[in-house]
Structure formats: C-alpha cells, structure tokens
A and B are shown apart, each in its own frame.
Chain A
Amino acid sequence: MQTELLKPTDRGLYCPAGNFYVDAWKSVDQNIVTHAHADHARRGSKSYLAAKEGEQVLRTRLGSDAQIEFRRYGEPVSVNGVKVTLYPAGHILGSAQIRIEKDGYVVVLSGDYKREADSTCTAYESIRCHTFVTESTFGLPIYRWPNPEKVFEQINAWWRSNQEVGKASLVLAYSLGKAQRVLEGIDSSIGPIYTHGAVEKLNESYRDSGISLPSTTYVGEVDAKQTDWTKALIIAPPSVMGGSWIRRFGKLSSALASGWMQIRGTRRRRGLDSGFIVSDHVDWQGLIRSIEETEAQSVWVTHGYADVVARSLVEKGIDARTIETEFQGELLEQPSEASQTQDATDG
C-alpha cells in the first residue's frame, strides 16, 4: 500500500511526493485547504490551493494578500507531478474533498462533509479511492439526522409562537455555513431577519458568490430601542450567549442549531430554550454509507469519534485506523474558547 502518498505529521497531513500539505495547522510552503472553517484554513502558509466556489469566503478568512490558487471542482492540477483534484464535500460553500493521485494510487481526504443537498453549496460527490481519510464528528449511531424540511418547520413554528407571546427569536449558529443554511431553510415571510456582524459579513461573501439568501439586516445598523424585536429572528454565533450583546432584544427565546442538539442532556445543559438539529456534518449512517461508497481498501479516521468508527469499520472487514489531527469538527463549546478537540465531544 502506498502510504507514502500521504502521511500524518506534526504540521498536518503531508504528501511527500507532491511536497504539499492538506489543511496544515502550522505554516508550510504549499497548503491545500478543504474549507474555510478556522481549524482547517489557517493563515501563515506561503501558498494555498482551494476550491473556486469558496473564493469569497476563504478570502475573508485568509486575507486579501494571501497567495491562493483557486480551482473548479473536478478540474485537475499537477502539484510537483502529483495529480490533485477538488470535489464538492457539501459541508459549506466551497468545501472540498481533496483527491490525490500518483501512479494509479488514489487517496481522498474528505475534510468535513455532509450528504443532504442544500442550496448554499454544491452537493457532496462520492469518489472512489484506495485510501479514504474521513472525519467522524458525529460518529455514533445515536446521531441520526431528521429530515431537514421537518427541522425547518420546527424552527418556523417556534419563531411564530415566539411572535405570539412577544419574544424575539435568537438562533445560534456558526457564522460560516450554518447561519446561511438556516437562512436558506426558514420561511423568511414570517418576519424580519437580523444578523450579528460576524454572520452578516459572511452573508455578503455568500451573496457575492451568487448564493441567494433572504434579505437580512445587520443588528448594528438599526437603533435597538426603536426596533420591535418581538417579531424578529436574529441569527448570531453561539459565543454571544451570556454576553451583553443579546440584552438589546428584550424578551428572548434562544435556540442552538447544531447536530449536538440530538441529545436531550446536551440541550438541557446549554441552558437554552430550544435546540434544533441542523448539522453540516454527516450523521452515522451517512458516514458509514459514504465510506462504503468510496470502496476504499484503507480508511483513516480522524477528528470526532474516530475510535468508535474505526472499530466498527474493522468489524465490517474494512482496514481502518485512527489518525491524530488538530481538526475540531463542530464544537459544542464556543469556538473562540474551546481550543481542545476534547471539548467538542466531551461536554
């Protein structure tokens, strides 16, 4: 087996033949980026390669002076003689799986991925390969996503009932990806939608990329005292909870949009009024199905329930191992504070 095509190092997953890294967590010369979330796209590398679809979004993260080469999905590029092709991962706008091929041996790195299609990004594609490197954020069979339509119906109903009792509706969602997915899924005719600055900035990147989102107003643009928040839906990153930012809305019902909301205890411990199961990662069945579809002979499992997934794969006769990375998947805690992978799975 051509393990030398890709190897885990303390800087990130490294391809010696092509002399490049994928999602390196330290500064390197050539870094291929799966998507723009902070634990995958880090500043400081000399040059980057990423999917064209995510150009606007990645620029907001890496800065306008970063040297980035953008490629369309499916359009191969040779990096020091190694054939590299990006394929959609369905996670957020511009998210990519990285297909690496040399001498007929193929490795695919999934990055973070999700199978349900939504209009904020190109849908996941299954790629056959010899070695598949997969995330495992929600790698336990208890994670079983409900039909997204049903979830958005729940959110709409919750918004309406808050309106009836004169409460503002605060949806907590990651600024990049989750927030736009929520926007795209809800019924925007119910009432006005406001956004936190971090969310609004990325909404602009999405709109600039040609993604149509319902119209939103940046909270900072209006006079809080003159605004009737009781009919409004407000989308903000989870880190606003407990801070003074939310005080301006008066009576408020808060809900977190996350796959972690599948579990009652997690929901209750957040001290939130509601939780909605909206995930931009695969659930257990999606994970197993995706792995099987790659027909990979060898599977590397990383960030999340890697041990559990690897053990299950071995039971199915698939050669699987876990590898250590510094990716975090979706954090349950506030992203700014949680620097340990453990927090994502522990709380």
Chain B
Amino acid sequence: MDDFTKLFWELDGTTKTSEKTAALENYLKNAEAADAAWAVFFLTGQRIRRLVGTKLLRDWATQKAQISDWLFEECYDRVGDLAETISLLVPSAELADRTPLHSLIQDKLLPLRELTAEEQRSRVLELWEHMSQPQIFVLGKLMTGAFRVGVSKQLVIRALSAYSGVESTTLAHRLSGTWEPNAESFEQLVDPESSEAPTSKPYPFFLANPLKDGPDKELKEPENWCAEWKWDGIRAQVIRRADETYIWSRGEELLTEQFPEIADCASQLPNGTVIDGEVVGWCQGESRPLPFSQLQRRLGRKRLGKKLLTEVPVALLAFDLLEKDGTDCREHSLEQRQADLAKILIGLSTERQEGQSLFPNTEPDSQEPAIRVAPPVSDSPIMTWEAMASCRARAKELRAEGLMLKRAGSIYQVGRPAGLWWKWKVDPFTIDAVLVYAQRGHGRRASLYTDYTFAVWKENELVPFAKAYSGLSDAEFRKVDAFVRKNTKEKFGPIRSVTPQLVFELAFENIQPSSRHKSGIAVRFPRISRWRHDKSVGEADRLETILALASDE
C-alpha cells in the first residue's frame, strides 16, 4: 500500500510523460507480482465494483472528524474531491501502513461488500486509524472506484514494456479482455518468452497526407491515381490467425469485443489474413454509413445491448489486404492486393457462425457480410480531374469525407510518407485538437461556457492555436459546460483554463504561418466539426502536422 501510495503521488505530481513512465517502471521493478498486478489493474482504468456507498463514507468521516454536516460540505466544496476531503478531515496515523496492496484489496476491501453497513463502518474506521493522510486518500479512491491519476493505458503499457522488454502491442493484447489482477497473470503479462502474442500483432498503418491544392497541380496525370471514398469511421485492421480474430484501431487499441459482428464475420476468413479498412455504422436502408456520432455510441462500452446492436450495426469497409495465406503482401501492388482482397471476401456469408443471429428482427438475406469491399467511387476508371472533383462533390451524400487518391501500382508503406496516398477532403482542413480554455458565450449562451480555445501538441506541450464557437449541438455544449466547471484549473478574468481532456475535430478553410500567434500559425474560419469521444488527448494532432500543411501552401 505504501509503495503504491508513493507511486500515486509521484504520478500525480508531474505532468511529464517521461517522469510518469520512470515512476511506473521503478514501481514495477520493486513491487511483488501480486501488488504490481493490482497496480496495473487500477492504472489501466479497470475498477472494482463500488464497495461502500459514498454517502456512508461521508457520514463516517463527518462523525470521525467530529464536525457538522454543513462543515463537511464546506470542506468538500473547497477541496473538490471526496476521497481527499475525507483524508484531510479524519485523524490519520503518523506512520504509513505497511500492508501490501494485494492483501489490502483482497483481504480487507473486497470482503466489505458482503458486510452490513455497521460492520463496514468499523472496518473502514480501523483502516483509517492505521493509515497516513496520503494513504487514506488513495484508499478512498480505491473504495469509491474513481481511480484516475492522469495516466493513460498506453503509458502504463509503455512502462510495462520498458520494464519487461515485451513489445507494447503484445502487452496491449495480453491486457485486453478480462485480465485478472493476480501474481500469475502479472508474470504471464511481462513474460518475454511467452509465445502467444505474435498472432495478434497488427502491421503499422499506412496513412495519407492531406491534399491542399487541387490534385491537378500536385498529382499531375489522373490516370496514375485510383480514387476511393474517404469514409468517416474508425480505421481498423482485422487479423485472422491461428483461429483467432483481432480488430485493432490505429491507436493500437483492441476493438474485437466492441465489434462482434465484424469479429464474427472474420472467423470465416482463412487463417493468415490481415485486412485494412474502415469500421462504420451501416444504414442498410440508405446503403450508406450512419453518421459518425452513431458509431460513437458503440465505443467504450462494457456491454453491447441488443437495442444498440440493432440500431447501429457496424461493418468493415475493407480496402486493403496486408497478409495473405500467412505471408506479408504489403510489397504487392495496390491493384494486386485489392484483387486478392475481393477474392477472399467474396466467399463470406452473412450467416452467423456460432449461436443465434445477432439481428433476430431482420431478414438475414437482406444483409451483406459485415466485412465487405468498400463501395467504389465509380464503376469505371475516372479519366479526368474534373470527373474526380465531381465525384468528390458527392461525398456528403454517402457521408464520406471526400476522396482518397492512391498511386496506381504502389506498395503499402509505413506511417505517413508523402507521395503515394492522399486524402482530398471536402472540408479542406481538419485537425484533432484539445480543449484548453473556455469562456462564456454571448446572448442565449451567456450562461454557458461555449467559446473555446483549442491546442495541439508541440513536443510535450499543448500550444493553443485556434478559437471556435460553433459546431456543437446545445446538448453537447451543455456537456462541455459541465466539464469546464468541474475541471477548471485557473481563472483569468472571464477565461478558465481546463484540464486537457476533451478532443474535438476542428475544420477550417485555410492556414497560414503567423508570427503573432504563439503556435506560429493562424487558421481561417475555424469551427468544431465534431466531438471526438473516441480520441484521447495523446492522440490529438501535432503542431508539426499543421505546420507541414501551412508550409505547403
């Protein structure tokens, strides 16, 4: 408990990723496997079901501190965190409690759930008596299931990787699903010898660069380019190997359980197949994707209800093949890969392989397989840029963001090298940025924080680069407003700085270098195009990316 408390305060005390990783690595080096297992469990965002009601904890702390209820409220109001308020009010021990983390949780905390309120009370009071103030705070966080310390799962994985030498993709996979926090699972997690992992490993994604001027200037001959729709969904790789299926996002998040329709369909793929595509919610009636906001409803859920599965069925619109018959085929030509992809997909049936149909209320034959070749832009080759441009103008009808232009005969590269893949969006520029300042709006929005300043990454720092006031629904504005009030860091007159946590996609018309702005750029007509619930702050865009756009102007 004591080492874990120290770790918590170290993580809490710094905003530097390198220091956080170092603190974690250091903890892992010294911790018993059973303790490390629980530490990883909590820090990767898993939580134990609430053991004791917060109202009870509050009452016991108020009694123990011998103060009135209203005074507890005054204190809570000042501190803003229940566990911390309690830790500052109840008498604490001078010396830290030495109980190992795993015994505290397994022997003292988990059994609480089975006890009566009176028994819980005496157990909790006893715990408090033997703990120091920082420990009581961490204990409160563990008990109320609200354990957040500004550490992403990715960061924990990085530290685990540095500590064990196991690759981060392997660790991400091993940590996915139901991971039991015990010594044995921790040892398996960090075992470099264990061989189970490679089957899950995705290929690095090949990413496109934005096209700013017309393609006729940059890309020259239209016959050298193949056009595809740029879908508005989640880029994903579907892997079928050794009778197992894995669906990876670009952020190396394992999405297999989020998209059972796709996983189920993938089980028909031959072993040794890796497909690249875009996951979208699919509207069968309209033969086009559902709005992205609908797809977002499918994300981040522990359980997918029937209703949601029926309302937002997903599909993988496949556009590339990276592995065929267990062999990496990324060096094959684009045309070859796509032809092979079509061959593999043509044999897929819509029937569910195991158990009941996912969609009991729909006719199975009205559906296409959940993994399918992405609908083409045109059935025949597009011969001129004018024809391409008029296709692009139709993108919104299909809820696509624009066109992807891929060089004929090109190989599948790694990362975002310039030259072979271009995205030619309808909205010329979009950037994922982080909300950092908020100010009240005007008129009907005067009571809400609706005027925002957004930042992007410059090295390890978020630099503000644009303000935007429009683009969210009233309901979304209210949610952001509530967030701003709860997460205000500082007030500068009417402006509040907020904890960087929310990511939004901003669209704008133009971009220019600017010496007047700290970020070095100025954007024209910025607006919020959507709230990226699916993105973490770390996934927001980097200033270099925007600067690259600006310099090409």
Residues of A within 8 A of B (CB): 140-142, 144, 262-265, 267-269, 273-274, 305, 308, 311-312, 315, 346-347
Contact = CB atoms under 8 A, between A and B. Distances in A.
A269 B81 CA distance: 14
Contacts of B68: 312, 315
Given A264-B81, A274-B13, A141 B75 contact: yes
B489 A142 contact: no
Grouping DSSP codes into helix (H, G, I), strand (E, B) and loop, the B interface class, with mixed when no group exceeds half, is: helix
B71 interface: yes
Contact of B65 (A141, A274, A308, A312): A141
Given A265-B80, A273-B13, A308-B71, A141 B489 contact: no
* Cβ-closest 3 pairs across A and B: A142-B88, A142-B75, A269-B489
B320 interface: no
B391 interface: no
Contacts of B78: 140, 142, 263
B13 A142 contact: no
Given A142-B85, A347-B490, A264 B12 contact: yes
Given A268-B12, A308-B71, A315-B68, A142 B490 contact: no
Interface residues of B, number: 22
Interface in B39-69: 65, 67-68
Contacts of B81: 264-265
Interface string B62-105: 00010110110011001111001100110000000000000000
B88 A144 contact: yes
B13 A140 contact: no
Given A263-B78, A264-B84, A265-B79, A141 B89 contact: yes
A267 B137 CA distance: 15
Interface in B476-507: 489-491
A311 B13 CA distance: 35
B10 to A, nearest CB: 11
A265 B80 CA distance: 8
Given A141-B65, A142-B79, 11 more contacts: A140-B71, A140-B78, A141-B67, A141-B75, A142-B85, A142-B89, A144-B88, A264-B137, A267-B13, A315-B68, A347-B490
A263 B84 contact: yes
A308 B74 contact: yes
Nearest to B88: A142
Given A144-B88, A269-B489, A347-B491, A263 B74 contact: no
Contacts of A265: 79-81, 84
Contacts of A268: 12, 489
Contacts of B13: 267, 273-274
A237 B137 CA distance: 31
A144 B78 CA distance: 14
Nearest to B490: A269
Interface in B267-297: none
A269 B74 CA distance: 20
A293 B78 CA distance: 28
Interface in B10-51: 12-14
B80 A141 contact: no
A140 B70 CA distance: 12
A332 to B, nearest CB: 11
B128 to A, nearest CB: 14
Nearest to A315: B68
Nearest to A307: B74
A286 to B, nearest CB: 15
Contacts of A347: 490-491
A141 B71 contact: yes
Contact of B75 (A140, A269, A273, A311): A140
Interface string B200-241: 000000000000000000000000000000000000000000
A103 to B, nearest CB: 37
A312 B71 CA distance: 8
12 contacts: A140-B71, A140-B74, A141-B65, A141-B67, A142-B78, A142-B88, A264-B81, A264-B84, A268-B489, A274-B13, A311-B70, A312-B71
A263 B12 contact: no
Contacts of A312: 68, 71
A144 B85 CA distance: 12
A264 B13 CA distance: 9
B353 to A, nearest CB: 51
A269 B489 CA distance: 5
Interface in B453-497: 489-491
Nearest to B150: A268
Contacts of A274: 13
A101 B90 CA distance: 40
B331 to A, nearest CB: 47
Contacts of B75: 140-142
Nearest to B14: A273
A262 B74 CA distance: 16
Nearest to B78: A140
A311 B68 CA distance: 10
Contacts of B65: 141
Contacts of B89: 141-142
Contacts of A311: 70-71
A163 B137 CA distance: 30
Nearest to A267: B13
A281 to B, nearest CB: 16
A268 B491 CA distance: 14
A311 to B, nearest CB: 8
A147 to B, nearest CB: 8
Nearest to A269: B489
Nearest to A346: B491
A61 B75 CA distance: 36
Contacts of A142: 75, 78-79, 85, 88-89
